[in-house]
Amino acid sequence: MKRIVVLISGRGSNMEAMLKARLPVDIAAVISNEPAAGGLVTAQALGIATAVVPHRAFADRTAFDAALAAEIDRHQPDFIILAGFMRVLTENFVARYLGRMVNIHPSLLPSFPGLHTHRRALEAGVRIHGCTVHFVTPGLDSGPIIIQAAVPVLPNDTEDLLAARVLEQEHRIYPQAVRWLCEARVQLGAAGSVSIIRASATIGALVSPSPDDRIF
C-alpha cells in the first residue's frame, strides 16, 4: 500500500474528502504550517499522526522548506498531497519531490493561477469555471494536469456561491486523482503530458448558459 503525507494550512476539507473516500492508501501524516489548522484536530481524532512546521518560526522560505522536507522525509511517503497548503514552495523543494507531489487548484488551469480565482472568474465574465488536480512544478500552478471538473457560472453567482460549487467538485476529483496515483494508473510523460490507465472517457459537453434547444 502506498504511503502519503498530506499538507494543509486550514480546515482540511479536501483531506476529509479523502478520508471519507476510504482510499487504498496509508496516510502516514498530516502536516501543517499553521498550529491552529482545524484539519489537525480531524486527523488526530482518527489516529493519524500530525506535525506542525510553523513557517513564522523561520528566517526565510528556504529555511522553512528545509525543515518541512525533513519532517516529510521522516514519514517516507510515496506521494505528497497538498490540500489547501497556502505556502509557495521553493524550486529546490519542488525538485526534491518532482513527480511525487500534487496539488488541487480552484480554477480550470491554465486560467486563473494564484489567488482569488473565483473573484477573478466572475470579473472576467467566464461562463464555465472549475478545479484542477495537477503535479507540482516550480512554476506556480503550471504543472501537468491529472484531472479537472467544470461547473457553470450562474447569473446571480457571488464569489462565495461559486466557491462552494467548485469545492463540491474538488471533493470529488481529488480523491479520484490520489486513488489513480496510488494504483500506479497515472503516467507522467517526459514532455509533461499525463495519461490515465483505464480511465473512462465522457462524451458530452457542459454548456453555460444552456442553449435554446429549438434552434438546433
Please confirm, yes or no, whether 129 is among the known catalytic residues.
Answer: no
Instruction: Give the pLDDT of the chain (216 residues) as one tens digit per residue.
Output: 999 999 999 999 999 999 999 999 999 999 999 999 999 999 999 999 999 999 999 999 999 999 999 999 999 999 999 999 999 999 999 999 999 999 999 999 999 999 999 999 999 999 999 999 999 999 999 999 999 999 999 999 999 999 999 999 999 999 999 999 999 999 998 878 899 999 887 778 888 888 865 655
Return d(Cα 59, Cα 53) in angstroms, integer. 13
From the list 55, 75, 105, 118, the catalytic residue is 105
- The helix (run of H) or strand (run of E) holding residue 129 is strand 128-135
All domains of the chain, ordered by start, with CATH? 1-97 (3.40.50.170), 106-216 (3.40.50.170)
Please report where in the chains the cell 498530506 appears, as a residue: 6
Question: How would you classify the pairing of strands 101-105 and 79-82?
Answer: parallel
Return d(Cα 65, Cα 80) in angstroms, integer. 14
